[in-house]
Each structure stands twice: as C-alpha cells, then as structure tokens.
Amino acid sequence: MSTNTVSTSAVPTSAGRPAARADRRDRANIPVTIILAVASLAVLVPLLVTVSMALKSTAQAVDGNAFSLPDPVSVAGVAEAWVMTNFPRGFVVSLFVSTVTVGGVIVLSAMASYAISRNWERRLFRYSFFYLLGAMFLPFPVLALSQVKLTGLVGLDNPAGVALLHVMFQLSFSTLLFTAFLRSIPEELEESARLDGATTRQAFWRLVFPLLAPMSATVGILAFLHSWNDFMMPSLITSDPAWQTLPVLQSIFQTQFSNNYNVAFASYMMSMAPAIVVYLFTQRWVMSGVTQGAIK
C-alpha cells in the first residue's frame, strides 16, 4: 500500500493529479527501475571484474586492464591459486571455524536465552542478560592485545580459538534476538509438555528449540557471514600461518606475487564464492535478520 505512493515520490514529474492515481497503482515505475539498474552496476562491476580477471591467462592479465574480457578463457590462474594458497586446506580451516561458530552460537545462546526469558523475574537471570549484552559495546581492538596473550597461553592460538572468540562476540547479539523471539512463544506450550511428564530439558530440546528454528536460521547465517569473512581475528590469533582462514591467506598476493593478477583474482573469487552462494540460498533470512537485529 505504502509502496505505490512512495514510488511516486521518487519521480515527481508524473505525479500530483488524483485522476492519475488509480492508473499509476498498477504501472511499474520505469525511470526508477532504470536508475536502480544503473546504480546496481556499482555492486556488480567489481564482482564481475573479479570473475573476468580470474579467467584470464597470465599473458593477458599482466597488462592490468580490468575491463577487457578473458580471451582466451583460461583456468590456469584458478589452478595456480588452488596450489599456491593451498586452497583445500584454507577452505577446510575456514569451514571449520564457521561451522563451530554457527553451531556454538545457536546452541549456547538459545539455551541461555531460554533460561533468561523463562526466569526474567529473577535477578540473577535478568542481570546475566545485561552482562552478556555488554559485549555489544566492546570493540574487538580493545580486547585484542590481552586476548592474543591469553589464547597463546592456553594453547588456543589456532582455528579453535578463533571459533571460540567468534562465538563469544556473536553471543550478545544472538541472545538479544533469541530472548525477543522467546517472548512470543507462549509458556503454556511447555507447561502442557511438562504435564505429560517432560523435564525442562526435554521440553526445551523437543519443543522449544524446534520452534526457534526461524530465529536460529537468522542467528546462524549472520554468524556464518561474520565468521567466514573475518580478517582481523584470525590474522591476530592464529600463530601458525598453515592454519589461516581464506581471507587472511589472500594477503600473500599483495607482496610476493603482485603482478600475477589472474592468480590473485582467482583466489579472491574462490574465497568469496561460498559466502555469495550461501547468501543467494538464504537471502530471505539475511534480510530479515539485519532488520530484526537493528530495530529490537
């Protein structure tokens, strides 16, 4: 409803007369569509340049022209990047970090949120909520120096440590989302499960946790994107370069191999692709996740 009227406001020329209104309602606003399509090139061009550079031969890429098309199409750069960055290992490390992060965030914060929301009248649980929320105001650089020191001391200067840190930094936001969502689930449901003899634990895992699925999807996807793309934390925490995640591995092209553009872009492409693929399949939750998170 509101959307038609908003559309006219973007293009003042055809507007104003009430007689035209019924008519306008059904017509797509072509000028705005065109403006947006042109603007979308700002998003698409850098991504397409990445793919096109990745598919060039070294001989063609060396001139550094971003906008020439690959001629001939060559996958030699992809093959070389695959070997040079040890892509399979980087991929597995990234996948490990992201998977542990996603699983850890969903399980830990769903459990904590359930305990908090069902005991809100008790001070311990209420204060715990505010305590956990505190990390939302805490920038990572503030903690970085001591965290690096601590993780080194206890032998967590590796992907497992990175995953643990990702989980803890995502915990605040996820707990916020889960507690808000849990308020909309009536407690009567669990009461009836308990009448049938279920313990609190069973009521949570069999009844409440499945009901949380939409929010778990949002929390999980945001945690995945954050974890998969993060550069700062793995680069500082992981001491052994062999255990680095994909984003950190890309740095090698900035120094040693600065003219192997096709290899560098092939590597960039392979590192970006998983997040883009995940996004294309889950965009509904990505979009709702961001808006829910910011407004609540």
Partner 1 sequence: MATSLTSRKVAAADSASVPPRRSRVDTTFYLFLIPSLVLFTLVISLPAVMGIFYSFTDSIGFGEFEFVGFINYIAMFSDPAILGSYAFTIGFSLVTVLVVNAAAFLLAIGLTSKIRAKTALRTVFVMPMVVSGIIIAFVFNFLFSNSLPRLGAALGSDLLSQSILANPDLAWTAIVFVTAWQAIPATMLIYIAGIVAIPGEVYEAASLDGASPARQLVSITLPLVAGYVLINMVLGFKNYLNAYDIIVGLTDGGPGTATRSVAMTIFSGFTGGDYAYQMANAVIFFLIAVALAMLQLRLTRGKVSV
Site for partner 1 in 16-75 (CB under 8 A): 16, 18, 21, 25, 27-30, 32-33, 35-37, 39-40, 42-44, 46-47, 49-50, 53, 64-67
Regarding 279 and contact with partner 1 (CB under 8 A), the answer is: yes
Q: Among 100, 171, 176, 177, which residue interacts with partner 1 (rule: CB under 8 A)?
A: 171
Cα–Cα distance list, 128 to 10, 52, 134, 209, 289 (Å): 47, 51, 10, 21, 24
Residue 168 binding partner 1, by CB under 8 A: yes
Those residues with Cβ within 8 angstroms of residue 249's Cβ, 6 or more apart along the chain or in another chain: 85, 86, 90, 267, 271
Pick the binder of partner 1 from 82, 140, 209, 257 (CB under 8 A).
140
Q: Which stretch binds partner 1 (CB under 8 A): 75-83, 84-92, 212-220, 277-285?
A: 277-285
Neighbours of 195 (CB within 10 A): 8
Question: Least distance in Å: CB of 184 to partner 1?
Answer: 14
**Distances 8 to 33, 38, 40 between C-alpha atoms, Å:** 12, 19, 21
Nearest-angstrom CA–CA distance, 185 and 175: 15
Determine the Cα–Cα distance for residues 185 and 110; give it in Å rounded to an integer. 13
Is position 247 an interface residue for partner 1 (rule: CB under 8 A)?
yes
Residues 87 to 116: which contact partner 1 by CB under 8 A? 108-109, 111-112, 114-116
- Minimum gap (Å) between residue 173 Cβ and partner 1: 12
